[in-house]
Structure 1
């Protein structure tokens, strides 16, 4: 599988990568065995870039990912996690929240609470805690996670802390990951991040990243990792009741998605295949991050990713 190196630390990322939100029991429970099957299947199809975060299942995704990767040659894969949310234990095991974390989207016991922390000390504490949960010797890429409402502090305190960790060799590359483009473009202009992770804003339904973020990255020789190519479900299975950005999709977006699906069908291409292929047509995009809950979902994603998409399809879509 094609790979691109991010940053001076030369972190190779495969064109298709595995996102870890689902492995943290996003929305519904997942057994350890099923999660391990998904991670092993990802390795078997050639994926060598894995992304996770403390936020995903209150550390469950990190623990599962670390358990699956610990037996692999360390130089053979790249692992990224994120900083910005500190996990603090709850007294009473989370009984004050009814026992679960579903308010945050994860079907796990609410044993911890998240606290936003983009201070320099918070960054170091977060990295140390992630290393402990992962059980690995290092993190390759550290992203500032969703600093939307903390932009100034993230730039003033958290980013310099990541820069120091990179200089010390604690991490090999640094960046920021968000669901919007404006602040990510600012990080590219005002800091020396190696890459940015943009979720949901460069898809068949939303190309807003092409307005500023992607040109900024290309001009500065930086890379973009693109997540959310299915826009949380609508582009995987467009129908009434499908989700878009983790909420019910408006009828007009469902109609747009169905029209795109019809165009794909005329060219003999599955909609999921086109959704996975689209971002990599831009030279600044290094990898497409796709989530999966099982070995079967990984196999399907890999098959879709390997599908050929004719230029005529892009021409008809006008993108």
Structure 2
């Protein structure tokens, strides 16, 4: 299991906004548990994942994040049946991601997730990856996802609802509607990209009583591996030279402060008061141990902010200002 070379503090807990649900501030993301993930993120050994889940629960994690697009839920349900799960375990799932945003689509997905995850009710179900106003019009309109989710709530099959995407404008619109309980952001609050805060999204969500979950605090690899890895990735594709240079500047500041870039990346998310839960994709107990180590980091928030400032980069190089993609249209790297 996890090597306990140092004492870690207890797992911090949080109440998820107006949902009233209480859970751990750290969540295990299960993208790598399925075949829908990037090859570099996949773990195909069941026993390794059983060990990960067991160690996470022993460390106080009570939140698991999934999605139909990960193609993992049948496996996840089977693995969870083989470990001792917390009595207050929360499993969130998502649907959409190019597979449809209609009420009927969500009905079928919810029924599938309930069966595969062996649940009587989905604690949190999110609309997955809307990219633009057309998507949101479908979601919010007659016969759309919101209508379907409301019916599922009325029937007791879904408890709380949200929107999950890495594209800024649909998240802003979701907040403005006041219809959703939960936001899951991805790549929009990292040492490289603080857009969720600078755009006012986090503050607006907090004003509405929404919970916010931050996925991909490592930006899809490079803020975990650092630039010593010649194959460092941003969102699991080769990082642009400007991104590598920005991370190198942050690494230099990290060295001055006696902290690793991975610890800084985790701390940047964990110490942001407007983020409730940080999701980490974990495929080994060793990786989990590194993530848990961030809980004992004593670097101040001001110092963590100084690391981010050292790596300031033009948001356009990360796909800004909308972040519909992670790169400028003319700079998409080859796999």
TM bucket (normalised to shorter chain) is 0.7 to 0.9
Q: Do the aligned partners of residues 280 and 304 (structure 1) sit closer, same or farther apart at CA in structure 2, a change above 3 Å counting? A: closer
Aligned-pair CA distance for 1:122: 0.9
Aligned-pair CA distance for 1:318: 6.2
1:51 match: 65
Tell me which protein shows more strand as a share of its residues.
1
- 1:77 maps to 2:89: yes
SS in 2 for 1:66: helix
Preserved contact between residue 197 and residue 226 of structure 1 (Cα < 8 Å): yes
Matches within 5 A, 1:118-129: 118-129=101-112
Q: Do the aligned partners of residues 169 and 74 (structure 1) sit closer, same or farther apart at CA in structure 2, a change above 3 Å counting? A: farther
From 176, 183, 186, give the equivalent of 2:170: 183
Separation in 2 of the partners of 1:272 and 1:315? 14
Under a length normalisation based on structure 1, what TM-score does the superposition of the two structures give? 0.84
From 160, 163, 172, give the equivalent of 2:147: 160
Instruction: Write out per-residue CA displacement over residues 155-199 of structure 1, whole angstroms, 9 at most, x where no aligned residue.
Output: 221012212322332122110110122111100111421110000
Aligned-pair CA distance for 1:154: 1.4
Separation in 2 of the partners of 1:74 and 1:280? 22
Q: Do the aligned partners of residues 131 and 318 (structure 1) sit closer, same or farther apart at CA in structure 2, a change above 3 Å counting? A: closer
Separation in 2 of the partners of 1:3 and 1:159? 29
1:142 match: 125
Which is further off, 167-176 or 266-275?
Answer: 167-176
SS in 2 for 1:236: helix
Q: Do the aligned partners of residues 73 and 316 (structure 1) sit closer, same or farther apart at CA in structure 2, a change above 3 Å counting? A: closer
Q: Do the aligned partners of residues 246 and 38 (structure 1) sit closer, same or farther apart at CA in structure 2, a change above 3 Å counting? A: same
From 230, 236, 250, give the equivalent of 1:246: 236
Which is further off, 214-223 or 171-180?
Answer: 214-223
Aligned-pair CA distance for 1:300: 1.9
Q: Do the aligned partners of residues 280 and 43 (structure 1) sit closer, same or farther apart at CA in structure 2, a change above 3 Å counting? A: same
Instruction: Write out per-residue CA displacement over residues 55-81 of structure 1, whole angstroms, 9 at most, x where no aligned residue.
Output: 11x2xx212322333464674211101
- 1:24 maps to 2:46: no
Separation in 2 of the partners of 1:223 and 1:212? 15
How big is the alpha-carbon RMSD for the aligned residues of Structure 1 and Structure 2? 2.0
1:206 match: 193
- 1:317 maps to 2:331: no
2:329 match: none
Q: Do the aligned partners of residues 315 and 146 (structure 1) sit closer, same or farther apart at CA in structure 2, a change above 3 Å counting? A: closer
Under a length normalisation based on structure 2, what TM-score does the superposition of the two structures give? 0.80
Separation in 1 of the partners of 2:154 and 2:145? 14
Preserved contact between residue 128 and residue 163 of structure 2 (Cα < 8 Å): yes
SS in 1 for 2:225: coil
Matches within 5 A, 1:168-179: 168-179=155-166
Aligned-pair CA distance for 1:252: 0.9
Separation in 1 of the partners of 2:305 and 2:94? 37
From 277, 290, 301, give the equivalent of 2:291: 301
Preserved contact between residue 224 and residue 285 of structure 1 (Cα < 8 Å): yes
Matches within 5 A, 1:247-286: 247-286=237-276
Preserved contact between residue 41 and residue 295 of structure 1 (Cα < 8 Å): yes
SS in 1 for 2:276: strand
Separation in 2 of the partners of 1:306 and 1:186? 36
Aligned-pair CA distance for 1:270: 1.5
Preserved contact between residue 36 and residue 64 of structure 1 (Cα < 8 Å): no
Aligned-pair CA distance for 1:205: 0.2
Aligned-pair CA distance for 1:50: 0.3
How many residues matched? 287
